[in-house]
A = this chain, B = another copy of it.
Amino acid sequence: MNEYNKIEKKLNLSFKNLKLLESALNHSSLKNDNALIQSNEILEFIGDSVMYFIISEYIYINDKEQITSGDMSIIRSNIISNETFGMFAKKIHLDKHIKISKGQNKIGISDLMLSNCFEALIGAIYIDSNLENVKKFIFDNFKIEIHDLFSKRPIKNEKMLANESRQKN
């Protein structure tokens, strides 16, 4: 059993194409060490959109009658954030499994890198299987966290306030 089989088992996943899991864990800095390596940016691109869709649907299904669309957007931004996804990544120990370059190793692993790695993992699961499997993975692992973020009073985060202030000026 190789390293990726072990990670797969720990995450309770079953990849048809284990190379996708491998790519999802490869940070772009690795290309500094080896230009031919398949890093996780393309999987992150698709995973980002999968998460945006799944979380939007979750918010719609769970509260479409009671809150305004403005509040729905605030809740969505609070869930779809580098902070939240960084936290999700740590919960499933992606910080132990992400591969980074020697140079990056000296600087360390940021929350943004972990958030991107989480999105790439979601992209990998989607490309390897389907939306239903992604939803299962998300709600098996983060149901409580998502429910808590969803149930909090919608409060605009710093990024939203900064964007609004910039749009006014």
A interface residues (Cβ-Cβ under 8 A, vs B): 41-42, 44-46, 48-50, 52-53, 55-57, 59-60, 64, 68-69, 72-73, 76, 127, 131, 166
CB distance from A61 to the nearest CB of B (A): 9
Copy number of this protein in the oligomer? 2
Specify which chain B residues have a CB less than 8 angstroms from the CB of A50 in the assembled complex.
Answer: 53, 56
* Chain A, interface SS category: helix
A96 to B48: give the CA distance in the assembly, Å: 35
A135 to chain B, nearest CB (A): 13
Contact of A46 among B45, B49, B56, B68 (CB under 8 A): B56
B45 and A49 contacting across the interface, CB-CB below 8 Å: no
Residue of A45, A50, A59 most packed against chain B (CB within 10 A):
A45
A-B contact pairs, 8 of them (CB 8 A): A42-B64, A45-B60, A45-B69, A45-B76, A49-B56, A52-B52, A52-B53, A131-B131
Q: Are B69 and A41 in contact (CB under 8 A)?
A: yes
* Cα–Cα distance between A5 and B156 once the two chains are bound (Å): 40
Chain B residues positioned under 8 Å from A69 (CB to CB):
41-42, 44-45
